[in-house]
Structure formats: C-alpha cells, structure tokens
A and B are shown apart, each in its own frame.
Chain A
Amino acid sequence: SQQGEEDPQALSIQEGENATMNCSYKTSINNLQWYRQNSGRGLVHLILIRSNEREKHSGRLRVTLDTSKKSSSLLITASRAADTASYFCATDNPGAGSYQLTFGKGTKLSVIP
C-alpha cells in the first residue's frame, strides 16, 4: 500500500513562477525523498531529508518536512520549461520493519514557456 500521497495531482504554471508540491504520509519515517521523472524516462533522485531535519535546499529546490503533520513540501523556484516532469515523494516505514521505499502517485508539473 502507498505511504505517501502527493498533492496536487497536476499543476500548470508559467515559466519564472514558483511551483509547490506537497506530500502527506501515514506512519513514522527515517527519511523522505523526492524524485523527478521526465516523460518516458527513469526516476532521478532530487533530495533526501531525514526525519530530524526540517528544511533542506539544493539549488532551486527547497524541501520542508513536518513530522508532526506527517507532511513534506517541495518548492521549485523560478521554474523553467525543463522542470516539466512528474514529481514523486518516497518514504520508508521503519515502524513496520520496512526500510523499502514506497512511492506516491506523483504530481505532474507543466511549466509553460
């Protein structure tokens, strides 16, 4: 069963705007990861945030984690057409003895030039 769930399912913005995607999960985690998938390609790792971290940055990406609300957000600033892709969050489930990553269904981002 899926642990993480992204919101919104789809997002369309103009180039230069910021894009925010959210991920909610159900149980305690060790870490939460975000991945990007361009159409027809494999997933590419973007960022990993550990359960004891609240915020992490990587270039134009900013990820926050709120373990009390069991939620995370991915912010892409100054979006570009090349950011058009699907974005997935992935979590483990150590409480159930599972360290395997479970993926959500993804947010499909379209950046209009």
Chain B
Amino acid sequence: NAGVTQTPKFQVLKTGQSMTLQCAQDMNHEYMSWYRQDPGMGLRLIHYSVGAGITDQGEVPNGYNVSRSTTEDFPLRLLSAAPSQTSVYFCASSYSTGGKLFFGSGTQLSVL
C-alpha cells in the first residue's frame, strides 16, 4: 500500500494563479480531509469529505475548492492564489470521521 500520496511536494505560484494539489489514497477510506500548517498555528482544517460526492467546509475554507468524484481522490484547488495561502498543505484520510488519520507527506506552497 502506498497510503496517502500527495503531489507536488513543492510549488511556487504567482499571485492570482490557480492550481490543484492532488491527493490519492489506496486504503479505501471514506473520510478524506485537507489541512494547512502555518508556523505557530498548528494544523487547520480546510475542507473534508465523508464519501464520494460529499464535501464540506472546515475552519478555513475561503479561497479553496474541493470535489470528491471517487473514493480514492480528493484534489484541492486554489482558485486565485494569494500570499496568505503560503503554507504547507497536508491531505489525510481515515476509515471514519474522527478516527485515526493517515497523512500524506505534504505540499510546500509559496505564493509570491
């Protein structure tokens, strides 16, 4: 099992550009989520999904879009990148909501 795979590992964007962070899991987990990690802030939940076709907002959803067309994939879209979105992004999955989370290795994003 590969677990949770995130791509890319690093990305530099200019303000206003859009991009998609990819996340895939091969554990047949129903629950998937995206967090961002900023220095001194811990991890904050952006969006989550409890199954294919179902998504919901977390604590900091503004400027981000998600969709869940399959159980395996949960991409995160930045619609118009802003410097405030410079962060490390983690995708995580779990058998169930509130259960043990399996994390990807992260995407370090810089917006100039």
Among B35, B40, B43, B90, which residue has the most Cβ atoms of chain A within 10 A?
A: B43
What range describes how many residues of B lie at the interface? 20 to 34
Residues of chain A from 19 to 41 with CB closer than 8 A to chain B in the complex: 30-31, 33, 35, 40-41
Known: A100-B33, A100-B48. A43 touches B101 (CB 8 A): yes
Q: Is the CB of B98 within 8 A of A45?
A: no
Q: How many A-B residue pairs have CB under 8 A?
A: 53
- Contact mask A40-73 → B, CB, 8 Å, 1/0? 1111110010000000000000000000000000
Q: Which one of B59, B98, B100, B102 contacts A1 once the chains associate, using CB atoms below 8 Å? A: B59
B45 within 8 Å of A by Cβ? yes
Residues of A within 8 A of B (CB): 1-2, 30-31, 33, 35, 40-45, 48, 88, 90, 92, 99-106
Known: A2-B42, A48-B100, A104-B42. 16 other contacts (CB 8 A): A1-B59, A31-B98, A40-B106, A42-B90, A43-B43, A43-B101, A45-B100, A45-B101, A45-B102, A88-B42, A92-B98, A99-B97, A105-B40, A105-B41, A105-B42, A106-B42
